[in-house]
Amino acid sequence: MNDRRNTCGQAYGLTVMTPILEGHESALAHYLSTLGTGSASPLASVSGTHFARWVVIGDVVYEGGRQRPEHLRVGRLLFTSNFDGLPEPYLEELRTGLGEVADQVWTHCAGYPGCADADADAFAAYMRSHQIESSLFFAAYDERTVGDVQRSLVTRRRMIEFAVRAQELTPGELQAAFRETFAR
Amino acid sequence: MSQALRDPHPKGRAKALERSHRAGKQRIPIRVSRTDQLARHPHHLAIHLNNVRHRLPLRRAPIAYGLTVANIEGKATAITVITPVKRGGPLLLWLVFWAGRNMEWTLKKLQTLSFIHFARWAVIKRFPDGREGERLNHTYLLFESNFNGAWEQYIDAFSEVVALRMKAIWGTSLGFPGPLPVEPFKGYIRRNEFVANHYYSAYPGATTTEIVSAARVEAALEELARTSAGLDPDSFGEAYASFLTKLQRDL
């Protein structure tokens, strides 16, 4: 695995595809559909995650033409994440942050070792052994972490509110309000 | 939607279906439930139906994936596409992606599409299975993107702004109609797209442009705070006015 190809700035693109146990696709898809969204998503507990997804791949698509008809032996669960930093610390974050949810998801996949503390190394090894190397990975703000992005969005919102509020202030009042609002 | 549902390879598909039927395989109907959700996002319905239509008869129980619309999280949209690669395609892809990794201008162009947060391509020669991997007759190309805005606009922009790059990459995939005209291209993406079963964004309320703007605002604000510390009120007022003028597009 060439981790440089999965990296853009400080951001890392993880692609993991695990074989789903025969007949478990629908149960897995159903479980994933019951997970909370937004801040209630279990992935919100995995720090450093910008974007992530689970996708149940039942089979390859048949395009016709010169494509030879073929099937995957078993379906695959695709997990992708765009996160800050290196894969090893992140996989540990993933294990501890998801906790029981990780078990509920990947227990539908062959060879999954579990996410208990005793299985920490096995969990990371399982993810790494099912990882697919990126050929090209692009991050629009590659040096900014999740924390940086969220903080600057809050700052921008405060600045917009301040600019509206400050329109009627005299220079003296403006300076005082600025110091009060943006004092470090 | 009707165009997306049209089969661009009727002969090839018919032949394959014929072969499958001769082999005694049965087409298993896939139940579509939660149509109310799908109806609110018509393109997901198109993707779902096309995925059903364009797969060979399944050899196992029907899968309920795609029945939950999880591709959208706030302003962010997920796209996941897996396409079969032509013979000889892997070598061309190796060259194209080598150029992408080593020639800065190729990725810079993606930044001009100012609505992509993260994107990746991956060549799948073997589908991981914990051992040596499952090898199919074809290599497959995975594309995933996280972007803000509507799916249609995203594909429109890909088709118009980075048409040559799309041709260089997906031109190696079977059935790719070319980036222009855009409707067949959209149909191709729909047929080969998989709807996410769960999707997460750490900042669902923000677009890529807002995030880049926020970074500029934060940097300029820090500079104003640092350089205006000793100014009298009138001078501060001028510095503040200049600051606002400089940032008017970012606020």
Bigger pLDDT: B62 or B119?
A: B119
Shortest CA gap B176–chain A (Å)? 9
Q: Which ipTM value was assigned to this complex? A: 0.92
| pLDDT at B25 > cutoff 60 | no
Smallest Cβ–Cβ distance between B122 and the set A58, A60, A132 belongs to A132
Bigger pLDDT: A164 or B165?
A: A164
A69 and A75 Cβ atoms separated by less than 8 Å: no
DSSP E strand stretches across chain A: 7-8, 11-19, 49-57, 76-84, 136-139
Q: Give the pLDDT of residue B159.
A: 86
Where residue B92 falls among pLDDT bands split at 50, 70, 90?
very high
Q: b/e string for B59-72 if b means 16 or more Cβ within 10 A?
A: eeeebbbbbbbbbb
B50 and B191 Cβ atoms separated by less than 8 Å: yes
Establish, for the pair of chains A and B, how many residue pairs have beta carbons separated by less than 8 Å.
311
Number of Cβ atoms within 10 Å of the Cβ of A113: 15
Q: Using CA atoms, how far apart are residues B175 and B183, in angstroms rounded to an integer?
A: 14
| pLDDT at B232 > cutoff 80 | yes
| pLDDT at B14 > cutoff 70 | no
Smallest Cβ–Cβ distance between A19 and the set B64, B70, B129 belongs to B129
Please write the tens of the pLDDT for every residue from A88-102: 999 999 999 999 999
Average pLDDT over residues A64-74: 89
- Mean per-residue pLDDT over chain B, rounded: 77
- Tally helices (H) and strands (E) across chain A: 6, 5
Shortest CA gap B183–chain A (Å)? 17
Shortest CA gap B14–chain A (Å)? 8
Q: H/E element holding B84?
A: strand B76-84
B4 neighbourhood in chain A, CB within 8 Å: none
Smallest Cβ–Cβ distance between A61 and the set B130, B192, B215 belongs to B192
Least confident of B18-22, B69-73, B232-236: B18-22
Q: Say yes or no for a CB contact (<8 Å) between A153 and B211.
A: yes
Q: What is the pTM of this model?
A: 0.82
B211 neighbourhood in chain A, CB within 8 Å: 140-141, 144, 149, 152-153
Q: Considering only residues 65 to 124 of chain A, which have any Cβ-Cβ distance to chain B shorter than 8 Å? A: 65-76, 78, 80, 82, 110-111
| pLDDT at B38 > cutoff 50 | no
Q: Say yes or no for a CB contact (<8 Å) between B128 and A132.
A: yes
% of chain A beyond a pLDDT of 90: 82
Number of Cβ atoms within 10 Å of the Cβ of B139: 20
Average pLDDT over residues A32-53: 95
Average pLDDT over residues B36-47: 48
Smallest Cβ–Cβ distance between A60 and the set B82, B214, B221 belongs to B82
A158 interfacial to chain B (CB closer than 8 Å): no
Average pLDDT over residues B113-128: 92
Average pLDDT over residues A64-86: 93
Smallest Cβ–Cβ distance between B130 and the set A41, A69, A130 belongs to A130
A156 and B214 Cβ atoms separated by less than 8 Å: yes
| pLDDT at B32 > cutoff 70 | no
A36 interfacial to chain B (CB closer than 8 Å): no
B125 and A125 Cβ atoms separated by less than 8 Å: no
B19 neighbourhood in chain A, CB within 8 Å: 69
Q: Give the pLDDT of residue B153.
A: 87
